[in-house]
Each structure stands twice: as structure tokens, then as C-alpha cells.
Chain A
Amino acid sequence: MNVRQIRGWMARFFGMLNRGRREREFAEELESHLAMHIEDNLRAGMSPEESRRWALLKLGGVTLTKERCRAQGGLPMLETLWQDLRFGLRMLRKNPGFSFVAILTLALGIGANTAIFSLIDAVLLKMLPVKHPEQLVFLEKSDGSQGRKRQSDLSYDFFERLRDQSEALAGVCTFSNRAPLNVLVGGQTEVAQVQQVSGSFFAVLGVNAIMGRVFTDDDDKVPGGHPVAVISYNYWQRRFARNPAIVGRRIAVTGYPFSIIGVTPPEFFGVTVDGAPDLWAPLMMRAQLLPAESIEDYFSNPLSFVLARLKPKVTERQASAALTGLLQQSLLAEAGSQLSPEEQQSLRQARISLAPASQGLSSLRQQFSEPLRVLITIVALVLAVACANVANLLLARAAARKKEMAVRLALGASRLRLVRQLLTESVLLALAGGALGLLFAWWGGHLLLALVASGRTPVSLKLALDARALIFTTAVSLLTGLLFGLAPAWRATRVDVTPALSESARGSGRWRLGLGKALVIAQVAISLLLLVGAGLFVRTLANLRGVEMGFQPENVLLFSTDPRMLGYESRRIADLYQRLLERLKTIPGVRHVSLSREGLLYGGGYRSSVYVPGRAPREGENPSPDDKRFSSNHSQLHNVGPDYFATVGRPILRGRGFTEQDKEGAPAVAVVSETFARYYFGAEDPVGKRFGRSPAESDRIEIVGVVKDAKYNSLRQQMLRTFYLPYLQNPNSWRETTFQIRVAGEPKKIIPAVREAAQAVDPKLPLHNVKTLAEQIDASIVQERLIGTLSGFFGLVALALAAIGLYGLLAYSVTQRTREIGIRMALGARASDVLKLVIRQGMWLVVIGAIIGLIAALNLTRLVSNQLFGVQANDPLTFAGMALLLVAVALVACWVPARRAAKTAPLTALRHE
């Protein structure tokens, strides 16, 4: 019978649409029914009135019949919903002030949540935009005991074996990290991020080109034999202005000619969420792109990443087992037969572990996951405060609609029906708020990204307000609508009909106030919690910005480069740098130029052992509070160029800095920091003293200068004891070097000149990470900046909302109590007494709310203590300060209605109904 039932429902659905015609037809049918019945009755001998009466009686009620047929003919549920919607819209239009305030409040709350959600989505949740990302896994060699490592540790031989077997894997590929390389296009050289991949890369990911084609295994067979490249959509847009003649275009990467064979789709960004390559090249072209490495070297070292796609029905465990077997075979084959029992044992322990790769790689994730968690909590709380405000508004309006409710109940509406209708109004409000909130989120989202993206490398995150954000917003809107609408709707319909309908229906709003007061207390408590949190975060940020850095960050330009990639070795590097430094010095406006192995505030650092003749390293003596491994026997080491200290603005306290004379062949020298000097030499002047980096050569290096302490790898870290060596005396095994240029004016102005200088020295040398030192500092504290700014903003928003809520409640209460106030004044109360009365009523709520908020804050701030700097989680100054701010704002919010109450003329008040 199912088909019939479906037919029935469909007929009812369409019946909704032609209701008018249906009802007219039925009215005709009923008319003819009655006419026939009356005729029969007349024929049977009844009088005309009798006939008519009897016919009507037998029918059972014309209206009732019509109603039953109306219900059967359409879908009453949907029809009433449509009715409710239209009525709701009308009500909202009739009260524009209320609607505006409510929608705006909700938009703020919902918009904030959407913005933070889409940020979280982009950073933490999104899957790679490839085919079936859940089938992707990273393969790593482990011995079962360690946690997840970043490297795969698998050999290229093993990778080839994997490629050939097809049991558990539908495909496997490997890829390198991105490298910034020089790309020559149409006579202009720019730096692009290049990633080398095995031929199967795009096949494993399931990505096809939108123009031309992507790599296949045939593009990755012979070392140096495949000068082809695939570029990203973004790069095509940026560098080639989406020129349709892109396939076959010839370019040069690191001076070697390549031809572009394809462009990837716009949403594809590779495997790293925050590091999209511009260009992909086959692994076999490595020697051409990075002349420093021979292809044999690359293949003889363990691979960084091995990415595979599991076959559809294969589970991770099955794959892991199958691949482990393969690994063991391959290891045994490599090792041959001369294995000791221990070696055999460790071989047997080697396993392949799989890590899910559906979300790709991301350095942002770890950095931001905690701040984002804190942020989503904050905005959820702000939304709660906003909802409380709207709920209070609804409660107040419900009082005004009491008569309407009474009439409808008296006419026979069920309470459920009324509640449903009121809820529809609430949900409409919330959806409107959500729509506006999307707009807010759109604007806010751009700001957020700007904050987050000032990190080390330009972030290729897209905060798209896509379907997910839309669904999230709608869901949140619906929930908030139901949340703040339910209680007022319930209250509104609990109406005693008779007294309500009487003329002088005075609002006995006492019970309404109860719920309203509870809401305001909750708002105050949440606001205080958010304010305290904001206070702590803002102070952390201020502390970090104000911390003594030890150097002058203004007017310094930075850039990094790595000539090793082009095949330079140590002596030639030193030579190259010298030439570059000389050229840079000739740029007008440049005061000082220098370089260093590790850039300032990059989060890394080097350590070295220190041996001072005549001073035995003492065990367990004052280990650094930051790092237990940093015992008394170590110091931080920094390799820098000549004139470094003047370039970064560090005062030399004693002796001198480095010069060009401190090069290879000259006596080994060092400059030490204050802390170093104090630690190893006490109050004595360290200049002229000697130390070494190994016990055998403990007097090799002579100290020639002492500098003031400075921050090294992060602003949070203490200034540890550091010594500096001239790079000219140690130009080996440098990966990346950072240059610092102190400029007389705006550092960015000289960037073109800097690039020219680099080109003149070696046109293939890529410069990247070009930014000012001030920008670098900002980048190093990006989480704190994000959380500090946002928590401060939202804390104030919550405070404003709570103040508005308090004001609203008190204003309402004052109108309720007008008669009472009139009586009091008539009996002799002065204006100031009335003022105090009202203010006391309000502040009482604030005090209760504040106490609850303080207790909550005391317990909860503990959770974020690891993000603070220079301030404790239960810092009394912050707590007291925020509480005072809250009380001050609340006082103002109370004062306005109180003043109005105090100004009422007693006679008017007494006559007030």
C-alpha cells in the first residue's frame, strides 16, 4: 500500500497550493449536499424549516466538516508553519527598534563564532582538497616505541619496492620540502617556491590539470632528463596573468630551462596546508634545481616524506602488516648475512607505521591549536551573553503582548500552538542575526587572516565562507533562536485569561523579573570572566612588546639566502658573501650591513660546549631554568659577520666587535655576552682571556669584546649566556644565512636595490624572507597578538552587552514600580532616596554576578597559564582592575534609569496604570 500512501501525501502537498479553488469547490459540494437532503426531507413531509434544520443537524456542522476537509486536503503542519512565519515577519516589522537591537546583538555573537569557526576549519579541520583524502597515509619506519616523527626514514630503494608491489597500496609517492628558487620568466627573475615530487605524486593525490597535464611516472625516470614543470593556479594567476598560452611555455629555474606542461586546479595547494608550492618539478631534476646536491646523495639518504593511498577496502592495520613484511625483507636483503644477533633483533623490530594524511602537513596547526581553542570558548561565551540580552528583550515584549495571548487562548488556541508561533519569531530573529553575522564574519575574517598570516612564510590559507561555514552559522542560529526563545515563549503563554482580559490589566511583572534578574547575573559573571581573561592576555602581549630586547629593531631590513643550494661550498660562500656585503654597503641610505647564521627571533638556536682553562665544569651547577640539558658547561653560540653588533644595534660594553680582519688564518676570536662574562669570569674583565670549545683546545679562542645581553630565539626566552664567533673563521656547513641591513630611513625602500645587488653578484641566487626586523618580531609573537587583540575586543563587547542588559532590566523594573515610587515620594522620600533605591537594586545583581564571575575566573584561568608571560594566572591586579571596570560601567548603566525614576513627579506616578 506504500505507493498509494505516497500518492496520498503528494496530493496533499499539492493540495496546499490550490487551497482557494479546493475550498470553493467543496463549498459548492456541501451546498448541493444540503440542497438534496432538504429536498428529500421536504418530500418526506417535513416543513421547510424542519427540513433545513434536520439536514444541517445530520451533516454534523458545516464549519466542522469544512475544517476537517481543509485539514485532509493540505498539510496542516506546513500550513501553520507558513502562517507563523508570515505573522512573525509582520511582528518584527511592527517593532523595528526592538528587531534592530536584537538582530544586531545576535549578529555580533553569531558572526564572531562563524569567523573563529572558519579559522579553526582552515587551520585545524579541513581535509586536503583531493580525491578521498581519508585514504591517504604517511609511511614511517619506526621500531614501535617512539611517537610520531616528522621524517619517514625510509630509503629510496624501499620506496621503489613499494612502487612495484600493489597489494595494499593504490599508489605511493614521495616529495621534498619546498625550496625558494629563482625562476626566470620573460626576462624577469623572481623567487618561487618549488617542490620536487616523484612521478606518481599527482596520481596518488588524484589531481588532474585544468590546463595541459600533470606528471606521470614517465616524467620521473632519468636523472636530469625531464625538464618539465607543473605550476599552481595561484602562480599562473600571479606570474602569468592566466595567459592561456601557458602549456609549453619555457622558463628557467635556477638557470636551467624547463617547460611548463600543466596547471593545477584553483583549490589544490599541495600537501602542506600553510605552504603551497608555486611550481612542482620531478625528483629526477633535483641536481639541476639544487646543484649542491647530487642525485645519488639524495637517493642514498632517507626520504623525508612518503605518502601513499590505501586501496579502498584495505584497513590501516592490514596495510601496516603487509608493508612491515616488505620492509623486513628489504632490510634483510640490504644487510646481507653478516648480522649479529642484536642487529637481527633490531631489524625484526622495524615496522612500518601509518599516520593519517587526510589533513596534510601544517606547521600552523600545532602553533595555533591552543589559542584557537581558547578563542572559540570566548566567542561561545559572548554569544551566550548576547542571547541573554535578546531573551530579556523578548521577556519585556511578552509583557506587552499579554492581552494578545489571552485573546488567542480564549478563542481556543492550544498553548503549544502559541509557543510554537513565538518560537518561530525567535528563530526568525536568530536567522536574520545569522545572516548579518555572516557579513560581519566576512569582514572580520579578513582581519583575522591578516593577523595570522604575518608569520614566517606567507600563509596560503583561504578563509572561505564556504558551505561548511554556512551550515555552521545556520545551525548556531537555529540553536540560539530556540535557546533564547523558549523560556520567554513559555512564560508568555502562561497567562491567566480572565484577569488578563480585564481593562485595567496591570502587569504583575514580578515573576518576569525573576528570570530577567537571573539572566543579568549570568551576563555579569560571564563578562567578568571574559574581562579577566582579556586582561591577562593583553598584559601578556604588552609585556612581550615591552620586553627588553637588547637590540634596536627599527630600520633594519632582513633577508635570507642559501647558496649551498646552487653548489657553493665554504670558501666560495665566504667570497660570495663578502662581495654581496660590499655591494650592499654601497646602496644609498645603508648605514651598516652584516649577516648571521641564524636570524633573530626565528625560534632556533645553537649550543656549544665551553671550556675555560682553570675552571672545571661543575656538575649540576645552576642548570638553565629554560632547559635542563643546558648545563653549566654549555652556552649559546651565534656565528655572525663583521659589524654585526652595530647593525642590530647592540652596545659593545668592553673591547670591540668583529671586523674583516677576523678571518680564516687570523687568530681565533670571540665576543661574549654580559651573562657569559659574569658566569665564567665573575667580576673580572674577560677581554683578553681565553676559552675553547673542547677540553683539548681550551685556550684556542681569545675574547675581544663584551656586549650587552639580548634576546636570541624568542622574546619569551630568558637571555642566556651567549658567545659570538666571526663567520669568516667558520664558514662551513651553513644552510641558510640571514643578512641584516641597518638603513637611515624606511627599510623597505631599498629592497629593489638589494635585489639588484644580489643579481649583480650571482643572478641565480634567490633571496627570500625579505622583511623588516620589526615585522619579524611581530611574526614571532603572532599567537599572542591574535589572542591578545581578540580577547580584548570580545571582552569589551561582552561588557557592553552586559551593561545594556542591566540597563534594560532596570528600566523595565522602574516602569513596573512607577506607582510604588510615586507612593514613596508622596510619603516623603527624596529624589536621592529613589536614586539610591534603584541603583541598589541594580548593583546587588552586579555584586552577585561579579562574585560568581571571580570564582569562575580563579578556577579557569589556570587552564591558560602556559600562554601567559610576565603575569600569573591569578594575578590580583588584573582581577581587581577588571572587577573595578565592571562595577564602574555597571554603575553608569544603573544610573540612567535611576535618574529617570528619581525625576518622576509623584502625582503622575500615582495615576500610572
Chain B
Amino acid sequence: MLDLVKSVPSSQDPIDCRMVAHDLWPRRFLERREEMAVTLPSRVFWPRSDDEVRAVVLAARVERRPLVPFGAGSGVCGGITPGTLAWVLDLKRLDRILELDGERGHVVVEAGMIGERLEEFLNSRGYTLGHFPSSIYCSTVGGWVATRSAGQLSSRYGKIEDMVLAVSGVDGRGEAIHAAIDDPDTGPGAVQLLVGSEGALCVITRVKLRILPLATHRFVRGVSFPTLEQGLTAMRAVLQGGHAPAVLRLYDPLDSALAGATATSTEPLRVHAGGLARARVEDSGPHDAEEPTLFDALVRRVEELAVFSRPRATRAVVGELLGRPGIANSILDRFDGKPRLIVGLEGDADGLLQRGPQLLQLLHAHGATDLGDAPGEKWLRHRHRVSYRMSKAFAVGGWVDTCEVACGWGEVAPLYRAVREALRDTAVVLCHFSHAYHDGCSLYFTFAGGGSTGSGPRGSLTRYDLCWERALTTIRRHGAVVAHHHGVGRSKLKGLRLADGNRAVLMALKRALDPDAILNPGVLGLPAQGA
């Protein structure tokens, strides 16, 4: 097996190693802007089979090399941070679909498969996984499972951990391992102990996922609420009332204002052909006007103030404003939007014509104003775009990051207000509530700030770290969990306080599955090699 490692494609070329040196953690971009050196791993491997993965793991164990599994590198929490001695296991050549069984409702796929390609394959055969993270074009199945990813239709289809029927991989001993929900020797407990392990317990090489037939019709609509609290109460009522919407996303007043004004609608409910999964690609053409970002809103506001006539000057001012978030927040406070909810159902046309009005009636009972189909269909067209449009803020010296947490319904509104308040002089904060359950939901914060170059108190990196520290402190004080679907990585490690028992259980699993602690050292608070 050790000889096999010589035939595994690999490279020590600095360019190849640079490509896998980190994920999309925004802090890394700030470091690059500060011209801090990139730490390159020692070598990158591109295994083509489980056996080749085993060979690399065994070789890493012999050489006592840290080994970092790498999917598509779209993580945003610093989960991929190889040191100079580390080897990186880039899994993108493990991209085969091994089995599709529509009768039994599952697909078996290798871990390096890009999500969009898997969904396209399933769609072409009349199925869907129902998993649509905004990173679907640049994230892998293995990455989803390793971080407990969630997609935009999670209220209907669940999170990735709900879809996983079995996980195969290679542990730190170089042993092939397999856990399946229907295996009495391991059981679903073992599956759920490997899911979310962020590459620290095993290298996930293949996954069996449950699939569902594509829905034939959809209805997606926008409504607004007088207050955020009313919107949250309505969301809870929808979930607890068993309506199982495919989409249920509430945007806070600022985020709602950015979407622009929409008139009240009296149009009757319309059901569109094609489920939400099908609507993903074909309706998302480049002809659509772009949804404004926070950056665009600040530009617009500065332009409205008519202080500067030149776009470049305006952008420079916006960059400056991001470094003075107190002032930026005062400007943005003038955007007074009504919290907007996007709600959507999937199913057959007759069923939707029956369920849709019932759902809208429930929302109206909680104070909703109907905005018609337009906001919903617009969201549908733009739903994968925002993640790719953060660079504008970086280009003017600012930064943007996101933080997704989860808590029970009672804590949602207080936590939202507390985080906004805690960050008021550090960052501009937006929030939406997009993954809801009967007992609580996720809060997805986007914060943007700026600062000068250098390491002083006004430096971007200092401000960025301060922002995270304040956010994590507030999140923990309110009893929320620090991660809902991005994983923990390094950005949230400080917020991950493990009880003694958790640590003992995790450490025991780590020692049993990765006795030399070579797999992705440093995540989940687990010890690094030699510790």
C-alpha cells in the first residue's frame, strides 16, 4: 500500500500548493492585502480512488505529516489551514457517481463531486437531492458532509445530515471505514458522529444520500411584516403548523430595504410549472438586474447625499465609511424597510392551489402584507449570486464576513438585537433568518467593516478580529450555538466551549480513529500532531 503512494498524482509546485493553501475565510484575504506571507503546504495529492487515499494516509502516518482533506475550498471559517509540513489531500478527482437507485431513493457519490454537477445529474433523471447551498457551484459533497451544510430549501428537504444514509472514508490509521444508518453494528449514531467532523476523524471518500423525485410545480411569494418580531412569530407558526414550506426566509429591515420597495399585491396566487430545484439554472440568466448589496446601498446613499459627483470618489468615501461603521450605521439607519419574508411551496399544482392559500391565510393572521409573486421569483433568480459579490467591499479597503448561528425561538429576536448592538461601532450588520425548525431557527449575520492598513487599533485585521470576538461573546451569552451550517473551522473556535465530557468523547474518538493526530489538526479543539 505504501508503494502505491508513488503513483498517486501529486505536486510540490508552489502554484499548486498555493491553490490549496487556504479556503475562502475572509481573514485570509485581509492577510493577503496586508502582504502577509501565505503558508504553503509541503505537497498536494490528487487521489483517484479510496485505495490511493489510504496510501497517502498511510504514508503521512509513516512520515508523521499533518494531512488536510480539501474539497473545493469554499469553506469560510478557516477549516483548511495546512502548515508548512502538511500534505493536502485534494479530493476533486474522486468525482464519480457510483450508484443511482430511484426505487430505493438513494444515490452513492464520491466525496469530491461538485454539488451542482450532482444536482444536474439527478435532475436529468427526474430526482433532486434538495440541497442548495449558495456555494453549490464551488463546493463538494464531502465538504457538505464534513461541515453539516444546509441549503436554501432546508425547511423542506432538511440539512445534509438528514440526507446522509451512509459514509465511507479512510481514518487516520489508514483503515477503510464505513458507517450506515441500517448497519446494526454501527447504526445511525456512528454516521452522525462522522458527519460534521471537519476532516479530523476521517477523510470522507464517498457518501450515500437519499434523493426525492423532482416536484412538478412551485409557488414562491413575498410578504412583509410591520415588525421583525411579527415575522418571526409567523415563521414559527408556519413550522409548528406542519406547512413544511420549501423556502422560508425572513430578512431584517435593512436587508429588506436593500431589496427595494415593492407594492402591496392583490394578485391571486399563481402556481408556476417546475419545482424549485428545476428553477435553479434555467431562470437564472445574466439578463437579470443585480440585487443590490450592502456595498451598493452605501454607494447609493452617499450618491443621494450628493456630496461627490465622481463614482471613484464615491467609492473611496464608501471605503472610508466602512472604516467608520458608527457613521455608516447612522446613514443606513435611514433605510427603513419592513421585514420581508420569502415563502415557497413545492408539489403538484392541485395540492399547491389548496395549500398556498392556507399558508398565506396563516401569514396574514400574523400581520403579513402580500407583495405578490415578484419578490419570490426575483429571489429565486438571484439566490446564488450574493456569495460571489463580496469583492467590491474588499476592493475599496473594506471586508465582509458572515456568521450563522442557531437558537430557540425565544432567543432569536433578543440575540439579533444584541449582536447588532455589540457590533455597532465595529461593523455594519445585516441579518436574515433562513433555516427554520419547529423549535428555533438560524440567524445569518453578514457584517462589513473596514480599517487602515497595518496592525494598529484602526487596522482592518484588528477591527475584523474585534468584530468576531464581540459577536462570539454575544452569541455565547445568549446560549446560541456558534455554527449552523458553515462548520467551526478556526474563525469560530473561540466560541466553541466544550464541556469536559464533549472533549473526552471527541478526544477518545480522535485517538481511536486517528491515533497520531495527523488529520486536519487544529479543528474542533482537537490536539495537533505530537500534542
Q: A and B: partners? A: no
Give A contacts to B, CB under 8 Å.
Answer: none
